[in-house]
Structure 1
Amino acid sequence: MEESRYIERKISKYVLRAASMYPVVTICGPRQSGKTTLARHLFPDYGYASMENPYTRQAFEADALGFLAEHPAPCIFDEVQNTPELLSYLQGIVDESGQNGMYILSGSRQMELQASITQSLAGRNAVVDLLPLSLQELAEAGVSLSRDEAMFLGGLPRIHAMGQDALMAYPDYLRTYVERDVRRLVNVQKLREFEIFIRLLAARVGQLVNYASLANDVGVSAPTIREWISVLEASYIVFTLHPYYKNYGKRLVKTPKIYFTETGLVSSLLGIRSPEQVRQHPLVGNIFENLVVSELMKAQRNQGMQPNLFFFRDSSGLEVDLIMEEGLVPHPIEIKSAQTYSPALYANLQKFVALEPAAADPTLVYGGEKMGTLQGVRVLSFAQTARIVGAEVIDC
Structure 2
Amino acid sequence: MFPRYAEGAIREALADTRVVAISGPRQAGKTTLARKIAGRERTFLTLDDAAVLASARRDPNGLVRSLDTAVIDEIQRAPELLLAIKLSVDEDPRPGRFLITGSADLQAIPRTQDSLAGRIEVVPLLPLAQAEIRGRLHPPRFIDAVFGGDVFHPLDAESFDRNGADDAVAAVLAGGYPDAVARRSERRRADWYRAYVSAILTRDLTDLAALDKINRVPNLVEVLAHHAGDLVNWASLGGKLALDAATVQRYVTLLEHLFLVRRVRAYSGNDLKRVVSTPKLHFLDSGLLAGLLGLEAGRLRVDRQPLGPVLEAFVFGELTKLSSWSEVRPAIYHYRDKDQVEVDFVLEDARRGVVGIEVKATATVWDSDFRGLRRLQAHLGDRFRRGVVLYDGGRLLPFGDRMVAAPLSALWR
TM-score bin (small chain): 0.7 to 0.9
Is structure 2 residue 346 aligned with structure 1 residue 323?
yes
Contact 2:231/2:280 (8 A) holds in 1: yes
- Find the aligned partners of 2:184 and 2:294 in 1 and give their Cα distance: 21
Is structure 2 residue 411 aligned with structure 1 residue 379?
no
Cα offset, 1:29, TM superposition: 0.8
SS at match of 1:356: helix
Deviations 1:276-322 (A, max 9, x none): 23443532111111111111011112448765011111123321111
Cα offset, 1:361, TM superposition: 1.4
Paired position in structure 2 for 1:149: 170
- Find the aligned partners of 1:77 and 1:231 in 2 and give their Cα distance: 23
Paired position in structure 2 for 1:187: 210
Paired position in structure 1 for 2:315: 292
SS at match of 1:18: helix
User: 1:82-93 alignment to 2 at 5 Å?
Assistant: 82-93=77-88
User: 1:113-132 alignment to 2 at 5 Å?
Assistant: 118-132=113-127
Paired position in structure 2 for 1:352: 376
Deviations 1:136-177 (A, max 9, x none): 211225999811112211000112357683122101111111
User: 1:189-204 alignment to 2 at 5 Å?
Assistant: 189-204=212-227
- Find the aligned partners of 1:287 and 1:37 in 2 and give their Cα distance: 28
- Find the aligned partners of 1:74 and 1:306 in 2 and give their Cα distance: 31
- Find the aligned partners of 1:12 and 1:283 in 2 and give their Cα distance: 35
Decide which moves more: 334-343 or 155-164.
155-164
Paired position in structure 1 for 2:46: 50
Cα offset, 1:182, TM superposition: 2.3
Paired position in structure 2 for 1:31: 26
Cα offset, 1:65, TM superposition: 4.5
- Find the aligned partners of 1:305 and 1:162 in 2 and give their Cα distance: 35
AA aligned to 2:237 is L
Is structure 2 residue 394 aligned with structure 1 residue 369?
yes
User: 1:231-380 alignment to 2 at 5 Å?
Assistant: 231-247=254-270, 254-272=277-295, 274-279=296-301, 280=303, 282-303=305-326, 308-326=331-349, 327-357=351-381, 358-376=383-401, 377-380=403-406
- Find the aligned partners of 1:159 and 1:58 in 2 and give their Cα distance: 31
Paired position in structure 2 for 1:59: 55
Is structure 2 residue 240 aligned with structure 1 residue 217?
yes
- Find the aligned partners of 1:222 and 1:117 in 2 and give their Cα distance: 27
Q: What is the RMSD of the two structures over their aligned residues, measured on CA atoms?
A: 2.8
Paired position in structure 2 for 1:159: 180
SS at match of 1:362: strand
Equivalent of 2:197 in 160, 164, 174:
174
Paired position in structure 1 for 2:144: none
Is structure 2 residue 42 aligned with structure 1 residue 17?
no
CA 1:40–1:287 in 2, change beyond 3 Å: closer, same or farther?
A: same
Cα offset, 1:63, TM superposition: 3.7
Cα offset, 1:112, TM superposition: 4.9
- Find the aligned partners of 1:53 and 1:29 in 2 and give their Cα distance: 19
Contact 1:136/1:383 (8 A) holds in 2: no
- Find the aligned partners of 1:43 and 1:235 in 2 and give their Cα distance: 25
Decide which moves more: 284-293 or 107-116.
107-116
Cα offset, 1:53, TM superposition: 2.2
Paired position in structure 1 for 2:140: none
SS at match of 1:246: coil
Contact 2:16/2:96 (8 A) holds in 1: yes
SS at match of 2:117: coil
Paired position in structure 2 for 1:388: none
Alignment: residue pair count: 380
Using the aligned pairs only, state the percent identity.
28
- Find the aligned partners of 2:88 and 2:65 in 1 and give their Cα distance: 11
Contact 1:11/1:304 (8 A) holds in 2: no
Q: 5+ residue gaps in structure 2?
A: 138-160
- Find the aligned partners of 1:335 and 1:114 in 2 and give their Cα distance: 35
Contact 2:76/2:207 (8 A) holds in 1: no
SS at match of 2:237: helix
Cα offset, 1:347, TM superposition: 3.0
SS at match of 1:218: coil
Contact 2:106/2:112 (8 A) holds in 1: no
Contact 1:87/1:117 (8 A) holds in 2: yes
SS at match of 1:16: helix
AA aligned to 2:356 is P
Decide which moves more: 343-352 or 130-139.
343-352
Cα offset, 1:189, TM superposition: 3.7
- Find the aligned partners of 2:107 and 2:203 in 1 and give their Cα distance: 14
- Find the aligned partners of 2:79 and 2:327 in 1 and give their Cα distance: 25
The TM-score with structure 2 as length reference comes to: 0.84
Cα offset, 1:384, TM superposition: 2.2
Decide which moves more: 278-287 or 36-45.
278-287
Q: 5+ residue gaps in structure 1?
A: 1-5, 386-392
